[in-house]
Amino acid sequence: MQHFLERWSNLSPFSSDCKIYHVSIEEASPLRPSNADATTRQKASPFKTSYLNAISIVIGVIIIGLSVALVFHLLATWSENHEPERKSDHFHDQFLELGCNWTASHHLRELTREPHVAGTGENFVTAEYVHSVFEKYGLPAHYVDYNVLLSYPVHRSLSLDLPNGSTIEFSLQEAAFDGDPYSKNKKVIPSFLAYSPSGNVSAEVVYANYGREKDFDKLKEIGIEVKGAIVIARYGGIYRGDVVLNSAKAGAVATIIYSDPEEYAANGTQGFYPDSQWLPPSGLQRGSIYEGIGDPLTPGWPSTARAERLPVSDPAAQLPKIPALPISAQDAKSILLALGGPQVPYEWQGSLDLPSYRIGRGPGKLHLSYTENQTVLPIRDVFAVIKGSEEPDRYVILGNHRDAWTFGAVDPNSGTASLLELSQRLSKLLKCGWRPRRTIVLCNWDAEEYGLIGSTEWVEENADLLGARAVAYVNVDCAVAGPGFFASATPQLDSLLKEVTKKVNDPDAAKATIYDSWIAASADTSPIIDRLGGGGSDYAAFIQHAGVPAIDFGFGGDYPVYHSLYDNYNWMEKFGDPLFHRHVAISSVWGLVALHLADDDVLPFDYLNYAHELQKYMKTVEAELRTANAPNYVAVEPLDSAIAQLLDAANDISFEKEVALCKTEPKKECAFHGPQKKRSLNDRLMLAERAFLDSDGLPGRSWYKHLVYGPTRNDNYGTTAFPGILDSIANVGGGSAQKWAIVQHEIWRVARVIKRVAVALQGDLT
């Protein structure tokens, strides 16, 4: 990639050159020319007689009087409704033109020089780097530190006794390659699963497919005893922590999880990294298996230096109970080869080259030994704040995490590089005279990989101010892992996301916008926008705990070297984004979404879309009830009528928005939408999401306050809506009247928060 780097080598990522665009009064005012014309005509009057002079003076006075009145009226109406938008539109266009792929590649290379796991010195160096870049761009920056429970591997070993009496000792090492200097770095953290307890076990092995609840049900059905065994499962179905949890519930003494080629390496002739993008046979996936969110020892409150801390043994810490390790496909193959027992169901077969997949248990016997170092250490979030000029107490928050399991070229520093590239553009706009109407906060989180810790602690510490003032949170974790745009959002932000992607070109398709390609990849007439019910990244605390509308997006989605040694700059430069155009495109979408949220006169929120989305979830509930043979007295009607009330309120407020923006009759009405009235309208749009929160939260999981979006019980990554209702249906079992009463109660609870959203949008006390 030397050629393109050389071409841009004369540019510095810290250069301040910009195409200055001044909105001059002459240019901006449609009134000036006619005013000037009138003066010119008066000066040129040929009439000299006093009579004519008297008439012309009278007419002149009337004309001047009318003109002045008209000018004042038009000026008032125009400046009220148009000037701020027109100015910010110019700056928004300018923002799109300022993208620089050299800047993105430079920052990514700097951020990923060394592996930087949370709590290590190397990750503090990356915090200083981000801070220094913000400051060099002229953006005021600061740190916020927390002291949190982290987990590191001290010792691990795994060996397999074969039926023939021999033993295989697994190295648990990922291979180093000459084609990849990063793979030879000795500071890379050994393979481990964070928060796995220490343990030393020897047992027969059971293969449990993806380790989902239904996989363990299947094992029971087949008659395989899991109690006392070591479970081997493959990645790809659910959150890895839930694989370990489900294994422990089934009585297993340890869990090992591997990366099956079916998910992580293409079948056929493409080979593996460094020859292709695919995970090598020795590659494996690190990760956390913690079941909670935020610091385990301070659930629900910030882990500041002198905070109350739970003992590690407290069940509220939600730490895993049995030891677990990630292993490679080549090691998994050796272990599965040593299994007898019945053949696996057809759909349980992966792509390992085995004569037949068997469930076990035995005859091979596995010895697993693991020692963990669990310790409270400081972590460091980095912030830059651009104060709003008119509404400094309204926050548009952009966030990305910085800590990585290894080098983090995709996860998460493609996002950090995009954040810094975006910051450079904002700093240039500031130099050109732009100021956001509302405050923009740029956040760079720490310890996301351990359990979304840096963002969660900050949200917990700032809960009240965020509740009163946060407009929206826009998250980018893995910005780029390949081509193909993907996005999730709370539904009132769908239309903003669509409009913005219509303005940014797709770096992988000539003459197409991101929106064009996004919609082409969907089987529907609108693009696929997922929801934010799962716990996959730093948006979780914002939406699920604080009720802040949120968006998350990127290019490429799942990628083969995820959380492995090979998630490094070399992989990114060869396969992920060789020209760094995708990074620039993400910065463009990210920044433009933020600019609209920060600058638009009326917040671009669409609650009609939210109501329609809730109607779909209601249909899902109806279907689930039918499948579970719910008795007739279990009614979804409360949901139906609550959504109808929300639809009415959403209709009213969308009409009000149109009026405020002068897009609808009666046009004169918009003149009455002064700053106060717009602020009140915006406050209702901003606060409505908060009304989905319930102080009791999801059943048994009170930290999750949002009753529409949260993880379901059996998959922390799942993104189903109405988790409380769906979990209660899943728990109904034999279907006692008592259990169905719980289902009905959960339906009522969700219906009540939807009605509260309707009242919040209406904005009048009942």
Q: Which residues bind to Zn ion, rule: CB under 5 A?
A: 411-412, 477
CA trace torsion 355, 242, 368, 376 (10° rounding): 150
- Helices and strands in the chain: count of H runs, count of E runs: 25, 14
Tell me, what amino acid is at 356?
S
User: Which residue's CB is nearer to Zn ion, number 216 or number 569?
Assistant: 569
Query: At closest approach, how far in Å is the CB of 392 from Zn ion?
Result: 31
Query: Which residues are CB-contacts of 379 (< 8 A; sequence separation ≥ 6)?
Result: 118, 119, 145, 146, 147, 148, 150, 403, 446, 447, 453, 454
- The residue among 320 and 412 lying less far from Zn ion, judged by its C-beta, is 412
Query: Can you spell out the DSSP letters for 347-404?
Result: GG--SS--S--B-EEEEEEEEEEEEEEEEEEEEEEEEEEE--SSEEEEEEEEEEE---
* Residue with smaller CB distance to Zn ion, 405 or 580: 405
Minimum distance of Zn ion from residue 563's CB (angstroms): 9
Q: SS3 for 162?
A: coil
Q: Which is nearer to Zn ion, 477 or 567 (CB)?
A: 477
What pairing do the DSSP bridges indicate for beta strands 254-258 and 230-234? parallel
**Peptide bond connecting 345 to the previous residue in cis, omega within 30 degrees of 0:** no
* Beta carbons within 8 Å of 475's beta carbon, 6+ residues apart: 398, 399, 400, 537, 538, 539, 542, 550, 551, 552
Residue 448 Cβ, how far from Zn ion at the closest point, in Å?
5
**Contact (CB, 8 A) for 437 and 423:** no
CB of 478 to Zn ion, least distance (A): 6
Q: Say how many Å lie between the first and final Cα of the chain, rounded.
A: 64
Exposure class string for 272-291: b at 16+ Cβ within 10 A, else e: bbbebbbbbbbbbbbbbbbb
- Residue in 80, 291, 372, 448 annotated catalytic: 448
Q: How far is the CB of 557 from Zn ion (least distance, A)?
A: 13
Q: Which tokens is 669 given?
A: 């009405």
Q: Is 207 helix (H, G, I), strand (E, B) or coil?
A: strand
Residue 285 CB, nearest distance to Zn ion (Å)? 13
Q: How far is the CB of 431 from Zn ion (least distance, A)?
A: 32
DSSP code for 294 = S
Please name every residue paired with 566 in a beta bridge, in sequence order, or none if there are none.
Answer: none
448 included as an active-site residue: yes
Query: Please, which residue, 372 or 411, has the CB nearer to Zn ion?
Result: 411
Q: What's the CA gap between 257 and 236, in Å, rounded?
A: 10
Q: Which is nearer to Zn ion, 263 or 411 (CB)?
A: 411
Shortest distance in whole angstroms from residue 412 CB to Zn ion: 4
Which residues are bridge partners to 360 per DSSP? 206
Catalytic residues: 448
